[in-house]
């Protein structure tokens, strides 16, 4: 009977245009990190049993962080390179371990969010930070798990699962206390987030909205960002669950020096993103679980090179991504088996890219066994066909051995592919020109290391090697030439990652955590023309260190974060952020100070980032 119901739902889903990714956590703030199930869509593997280098930003850390957006939350993870062109979530490129922003796969509850037009827009997500339960970061090619475009890793944003009813909200405002020289107005930002949850006997609902706005921090950096996100569950019976999500984001910001400095000082960009998904999880019996899902993403990008003269170099792009997935899991006496298939259709209608359409088909299988004492092993492969780039197969394997208590040695190796974006292939603009002869990037990755996961302490130390063949970078011969992408022969990267953290027991009167992480990268390019100016490769990180401390005693809390960054092409810098909180029943008053020593630094292109910024906020929560 359940097989029949699931088959019918597959047909129904193929006619739908909304979707949702599975989550397993409640909306409580205290969780056992070791028991978190990493969202892989097929196999359900607890964090403590993973044999990959995975980092989790928990709900506790999100709530205590002085970050103002998802982009800034990710900046506190060593190995994650956040190259912001605008703060407060306006626009940012996210890369992992020295890769480029198009080589990192972004997901929401396991649903892929990458923009086929350009990775610049992949972080245009309709999710306020208060709606996030955790962020999972998987390092290294993850094609075996997530398919194409996870060349250097994947970032999965998991939204909150409703366990009880309640409402919450907050308002905040901030300033650099510096004035605009033209208008004499004080540079400022302000925002609000509101959310509510309903937990019923037969279903659960969550709705969150957010607004951020301000006049920026220098000429033509004003911004207006809005987000609206909804998710719901319908409990069909004790073994079956129907889930769905929908979201909408609107971003309007000054794009001074974003893409074509210095001529674009009066540029403006408007990005709209709508997404949805629907998923049915059916537990057929004790061994079989089936999960069909359909997802839809629409994006509109309006780039105005001269916002006061729309006749010159205005680019408008409308892209749609429709994806269908069928995931299954079988638990047997021999181990756990996951397999399935997916179809993705990328469509774009653009003034500068033309009208394009391509299909991608993926078939995958994975097996996990832990029947041998202290030894766990996972292996699998992903078979991919792309209508523009043909067939490829991507195998992967990981293994771990608990040699003493919670101490584990692990190794993993994997492969991955990145399909060029439509911008890479076809863009024609004032300072950029695409290359339709590009081929896909392909990566091989191997890592080995040591882990310890306990109730208080966590440790990860690892070394990795990654080779990317046909690496794509945008280059030019001189400042007068346009940027043009090309496939360079090879990019080899050696890297070291170290992280350690300690968490106070939550039952103590005082609690909190201390973390330290360090990342070192040594990238080498073979057959790379030194006479060319590189747009992205020379911005790679060399050294990155992050230290964070959070401490609560009674009604008072303090979070301090220190970051050190050294890039290949830019000077090194330190950044210091602080949050102080005072809790008064259902209310919490907080003060954030970002970049408190007013450092001048650049993360991407020719965009100087804000100096010191101070914000004051008030939260309210009622269950």
Query: pLDDT for 18-70, tens place per residue?
Result: 333 333 333 444 456 666 777 766 777 888 888 889 999 999 999 999 998 99
Residue 88 confidence (pLDDT) above 90: no
d(CA 149, CA 141): 9
Sign of CA dihedral 568, 571, 574, 575: negative
d(CA 138, CA 498): 15
Quick: pLDDT tens for 533-585. 777 766 789 999 999 999 999 899 999 999 999 988 778 999 999 999 999 99
Q: How many residues in the chain?
A: 623
In this structure, how many other beta carbons lie within 10 angstroms of the beta carbon of residue 496? 14
Backbone phi, then psi, for 102, in 5-degree steps?
-80, -10
d(CA 519, CA 449): 14
pLDDT at 31: 57
d(CA 295, CA 159): 16
Sheet architecture: strand order including 111-112: 54-57, 132-139, 153-159, 104-108, 111-112
Strands (E), 387-456: 390-404, 407-418, 441-453
Residue 214, H or E segment:
strand 203-214
Residue 425, H or E segment:
helix 422-426
Residue 464 confidence (pLDDT) above 60: yes
d(CA 17, CA 246): 10
Q: Are 301 and 269 in contact (CB under 8 A)?
A: yes
**Residues sharing a CB contact under 8 Å with residue 40, sequence separation 6 or more, in sequence order:** 110, 145, 146, 338
Sign of CA dihedral 492, 565, 500, 557: negative
Per DSSP, the three-state class of 62 is helix
How far apart, in Å, do the first and last CA atoms of the chain sit?
A: 39
d(CA 440, CA 348): 19
Q: Are 539 and 552 in contact (CB under 8 A)?
A: no
Pick from 24-28, 55-59, 224-228, 402-406: least confident: 24-28
pLDDT at 595: 96
Cα–Cα nearest to 491, from 383, 398, 418? 418
Pick from 226-230, 408-412, 465-469, 528-532: least confident: 528-532
Q: Are 77 and 69 in contact (CB under 8 A)?
A: no
Residue 5 confidence (pLDDT) above 50: no
177-186, long-range: CB within 8 Å, 24+ apart, which pairs?
A: 177/612, 177/614, 178/217, 178/611, 180/215, 180/219, 182/219, 185/215
Q: Are 417 and 392 in contact (CB under 8 A)?
A: yes
As a whole number, mean pLDDT of residues 586-608 equals: 92
525 vs 251, which has greater pLDDT?
251
Residue 506 confidence (pLDDT) above 80: no
**Residues sharing a CB contact under 8 Å with residue 530, sequence separation 6 or more, in sequence order:** none
Pick from 195-199, 235-239, 575-579: least confident: 235-239
In this structure, how many other beta carbons lie within 10 angstroms of the beta carbon of residue 238? 7
What is the average pLDDT score of the chain? 89
Residue 11 confidence (pLDDT) above 60: no
Residue for token digits 């709900």?
59
pLDDT at 369: 92
Q: Are 83 and 90 in contact (CB under 8 A)?
A: no
Q: Are 615 and 174 in contact (CB under 8 A)?
A: yes
Class of the domain covering 2-622: mainly beta
Residue for token digits 């899991």?
329
Alpha helices in 21-78 (DSSP H): 59-64, 70-74
Residue 259 confidence (pLDDT) above 90: no
Residue 6 confidence (pLDDT) above 60: no
Cα–Cα nearest to 492, from 52, 94, 97, 144? 97
Residue 11, H or E segment:
helix 2-13
d(CA 414, CA 466): 10
**Residues sharing a CB contact under 8 Å with residue 212, sequence separation 6 or more, in sequence order:** 68, 69, 88, 89, 189, 190, 191, 223, 224, 225, 226
pLDDT at 239: 85
pLDDT at 549: 96
555-560, long-range: CB within 8 Å, 24+ apart, which pairs?
A: 555/582, 555/583, 555/584, 556/580, 556/581, 556/582, 556/583, 557/64, 557/512, 557/581, 557/582, 557/583, 559/64, 559/65, 559/66
d(CA 428, CA 305): 13
Q: Are 305 and 314 in contact (CB under 8 A)?
A: yes
d(CA 528, CA 316): 33
pLDDT at 4: 40
Q: Are 431 and 263 in contact (CB under 8 A)?
A: yes
Q: Are 266 and 308 in contact (CB under 8 A)?
A: yes
Residue 200 confidence (pLDDT) above 70: yes
Prediction pTM value: 0.92
Quick: pLDDT tens for 68-81. 899 999 999 999 99
Q: Kindly state the percentage of the chain with pLDDT values over 70.
A: 92
Residue-range domain boundaries for the chain: 2-622
Determine whether 540 is exposed, middle or buried from the number of CB atoms within 10 Å of its CB (0-12, 13-18, 19+).
buried
d(CA 48, CA 35): 7
Quick: pLDDT tens for 327-362. 999 998 888 999 999 999 999 999 999 999 999 999
Residue 100 confidence (pLDDT) above 70: yes
Q: Which value, in Å, is the radius of gyration of the alpha carbons in the chain?
A: 23
As a whole number, mean pLDDT of residues 157-168 equals: 93
Cα–Cα nearest to 622, from 591, 589, 588? 588
Strands 166-179 and 186-199: antiparallel
């Amino acid at each position: 009977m359940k097989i029949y119901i699931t088959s019918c739902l597959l047909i129904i889903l193929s006619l739908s245009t909304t979707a949702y990714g599975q989550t397993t956590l409640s909306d409580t703030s205290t969780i056992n990190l070791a028991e978190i199930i990493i969202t892989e869509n097929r196999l359900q593997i607890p964090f403590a049993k993973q044999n990959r280098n995975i980092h989790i930003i928990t709900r506790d850390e999100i709530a205590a962080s002085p970050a103002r957006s998802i982009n800034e939350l990710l900046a506190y993870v060593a190995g994650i390179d956040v190259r912001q062109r605008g703060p407060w979530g306006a626009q940012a490129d996210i890369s992992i371990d020295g890769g480029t922003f198009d080589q990192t796969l972004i997901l929401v509850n396991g649903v892929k969010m990458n923009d086929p037009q350009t990775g610049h827009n992949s972080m245009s997500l309709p999710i306020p930070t208060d709606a996030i339960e955790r962020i999972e970061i998987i390092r290294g090619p993850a094609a075996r798990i997530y398919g194409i475009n996870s060349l250097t890793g994947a970032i999965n944003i998991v939204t909150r699962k409703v366990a009880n009813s309640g409402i919450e909200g907050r308002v905040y405002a901030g300033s650099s206390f510096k004035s605009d020289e033209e208008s004499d107005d004080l540079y400022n930002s302000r925002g609000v987030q509101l959310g509510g949850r309903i937990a019923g006997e037969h279903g659960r609902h969550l709705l969150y909205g957010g607004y951020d706005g301000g006049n920026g921090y220098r000429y033509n950096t004003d911004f207006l960002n809005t987000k609206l996100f909804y998710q719901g569950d319908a409990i069909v019976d004790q073994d079956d669950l129907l889930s769905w999500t929908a979201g909408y984001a609107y971003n309007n910001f000054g794009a001074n020096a974003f893409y074509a400095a210095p001529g674009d000082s009066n540029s403006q960009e408007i990005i709209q993103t709508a997404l949805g998904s629907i998923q049915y999880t059916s537990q057929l019996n004790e061994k079989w679980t089936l999960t069909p899902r359909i997802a839809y993403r629409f994006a509109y990008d309006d780039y105005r090179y001269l916002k006061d003269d729309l006749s010159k170099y205005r680019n408008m792009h409308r892209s749609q991504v429709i994806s269908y997935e069928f995931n299954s899991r079988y638990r047997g006496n021999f181990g756990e088996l996951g397999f399935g298939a997916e179809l993705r259709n990328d469509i774009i209608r653009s003034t500068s890219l033309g009208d394009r359409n391509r299909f991608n088909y993926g078939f995958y299988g994975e097996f996990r066994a832990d029947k041998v004492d202290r030894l766990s092993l996972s292996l699998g492969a992903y078979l991919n066909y792309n209508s523009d780039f043909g067939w490829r197969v991507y195998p992967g394997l990981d293994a771990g051995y608990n040699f003493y208590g919670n101490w584990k040695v692990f190794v993993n190796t994997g492969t991955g592919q990145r399909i060029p974006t439509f911008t890479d292939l076809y863009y024609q603009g004032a300072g950029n020109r695409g290359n339709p002869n590009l081929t896909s990037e392909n990566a091989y990755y191997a890592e080995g290391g040591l882990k310890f996961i306990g109730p208080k302490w966590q440790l990860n130390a690892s070394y990795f090697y990654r080779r990317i063949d046909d690496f794509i970078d945008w280059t030019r011969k001189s400042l007068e030439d346009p940027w043009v992408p090309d496939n360079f022969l090879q990019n080899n990267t050696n890297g070291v990652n170290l992280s350690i953290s300690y968490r106070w027991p939550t039952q103590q009167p005082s609690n909190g955590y201390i973390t330290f992480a360090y990342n070192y990268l040594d990238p080498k390019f073979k057959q790379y023309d030194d006479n060319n100016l590189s747009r992205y490769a020379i911005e790679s990180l060399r050294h990155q260190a992050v230290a964070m401390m959070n401490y609560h005693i009674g009604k008072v809390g303090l979070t301090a974060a220190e970051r050190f960054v050294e890039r290949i092409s830019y000077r090194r810098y330190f950044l210091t952020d602080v949050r102080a909180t005072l809790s008064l029943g259902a209310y919490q008053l907080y003060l954030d100070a970002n970049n408190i020593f007013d450092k001048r630094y650049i993360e991407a292109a020719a965009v100087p980032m804000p100096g010191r910024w101070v914000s004051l906020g008030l939260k309210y929560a009622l269950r």
